[in-house]
C-alpha cells in the first residue's frame, strides 16, 4: 500500500474560500445565481495565467483521469475523458476531474515546490481514494486528495447557491442539470456541508 505526504492542514471552509476566489476571478456571477461554472474554459484559458501551470490533454493509462506534476508545472487530463462524445456522464466526470486538478494547482503545487519531500505528482486515479490511507498515517484534513475534491465541490457547487437549491426543494435531477455535475457529486456536497435533508430524485 502506498503512502502520501501530508499536505498543509486546511479546513473545508478555508478550501471553499480559495475556490470562491477562483470563481470571482473568472465567472463571478456563479456566486450570485444557480448556474454551472465554466471549468473547461478556466482550465484551458486561465489556469496557466493564474498558476503558471500548463494544462495538457494527453493519453493516460486506464483508470488515470488526470494528474498534476509540481516539478514540471504541468497538469495532465486524460484525452479519453475529453473525447466524451454524446455521453453527459463522462463529460461531467471530465468537469469534476478538471476541478479536482485545479484544486491541486492552487492548494499544493507551491508547497510541493518549496518542499522536495512533498508529493511531486498528484495522481487522480482509482488508487488515490481515501481508503488507501490508514487512519494512523494521515488525518483527512491533511490529505491532498481530500482537499482537492473538497475544492472541486466548492468550485462546481458554491455553498450559497447549493443551499438555495436545497432549501427551494429542488430535486437531485434539477440540481444535477443546473450545476452540470453527476449525482454522486451532489451526495458528496451534502455530506461536506452536513445537510441531512433528503433530495427527491425526479
Which tens digits make up the pLDDT trace of 111-159?
A: 888 876 455 556 555 444 333 455 457 888 998 999 999 999 999 999 9
- Distance, CA of 63 to CA of 78 (rounded, Å): 10
**Among the ranges given (16-20, 111-115, 196-200), the one the predictor scored with the smallest mean pLDDT:** 111-115
Closest of 79, 67, 34, 94 to residue 148, by C-alpha: 67
The parent domain of residue 24 ranges over 12-156
Q: Identify whether 189 is part of a domain.
A: no
Asked if residue 148 lies in contact with residue 128, where contact means CB atoms within 8 angstroms, the answer is no
Q: Identify whether 86 is part of a domain.
A: yes
Q: Identify whether 147 is part of a domain.
A: yes
- Distance, CA of 64 to CA of 72 (rounded, Å): 18
Q: Identify whether 34 is part of a domain.
A: yes
Look over the chain and give the mean of its residue pLDDT values, rounded to a whole number. 90
Asked if residue 25 lies in contact with residue 106, where contact means CB atoms within 8 angstroms, the answer is no
* Planar angle of CA 173, 176, 182, nearest 5 degrees: 110
Output the pLDDT for position 73: 95
What residues form DSSP beta bridges with 75?
55, 68
Q: Identify whether 55 is part of a domain.
A: yes
Give pLDDT tens digits for 151-172: 999 999 999 999 999 999 999 9
Q: Give the chain's domain count.
A: 1
Output the pLDDT for position 118: 52
Q: How far is residue 136 from each of residues 11, 70, 139, 200, measured CA to CA in Å? A: 19, 26, 8, 37
Output the pLDDT for position 138: 81
pLDDT at 63 over 60: yes
Q: Which of 49 and 121 is assigned the larger pLDDT?
A: 49
Task: Tell me the pTM.
Answer: 0.90
- Distance, CA of 33 to CA of 41 (rounded, Å): 19
Please give the average per-residue pLDDT across 48-62, as a whole number: 97
Q: Identify whether 190 is part of a domain.
A: no
Distance of CA 138 to the CA centre of its chain: 20
Q: Identify whether 177 is part of a domain.
A: no
SS (H, E, C) 21-59: HHHHHHHHHHHCCCCCCCHHHHHHHHHHHHHCCEEEEEC
Q: Identify whether 42 is part of a domain.
A: yes
Amino acid at each position: 500500500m502506498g503512502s502520501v505526504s501530508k499536505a498543509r492542514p486546511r479546513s473545508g471552509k478555508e478550501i471553499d474560500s480559495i475556490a470562491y476566489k477562483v470563481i470571482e476571478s473568472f465567472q463571478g456571477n456563479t456566486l450570485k445565481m444557480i448556474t454551472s461554472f465554466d471549468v473547461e474554459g478556466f482550465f484551458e484559458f486561465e489556469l496557466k495565467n493564474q498558476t503558471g501551470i500548463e494544462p495538457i490533454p494527453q493519453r493516460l493509462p486506464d483508470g488515470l483521469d488526470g494528474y498534476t506534476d509540481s516539478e514540471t508545472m504541468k497538469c495532465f487530463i486524460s484525452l479519453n475523458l475529453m473525447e466524451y462524445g454524446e455521453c453527459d456522464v463522462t463529460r461531467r466526470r471530465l468537469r469534476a476531474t478538471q476541478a479536482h486538478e485545479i484544486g491541486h494547482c492552487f492548494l499544493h503545487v507551491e508547497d510541493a515546490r518549496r518542499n522536495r519531500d512533498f508529493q511531486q505528482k498528484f495522481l487522480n486515479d482509482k488508487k488515490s481514494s481515501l481508503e488507501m490511507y490508514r487512519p494512523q498515517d494521515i488525518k483527512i484534513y491533511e490529505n491532498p486528495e481530500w482537499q482537492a475534491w473538497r475544492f472541486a465541490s466548492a468550485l462546481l457547487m458554491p455553498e450559497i447557491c447549493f443551499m438555495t437549491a436545497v432549501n427551494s426543494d429542488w430535486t437531485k435531477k434539477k440540481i444535477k442539470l443546473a450545476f452540470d455535475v453527476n449525482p454522486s457529486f451532489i451526495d458528496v456536497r451534502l455530506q461536506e456541508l452536513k445537510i441531512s435533508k433528503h433530495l427527491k430524485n425526479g
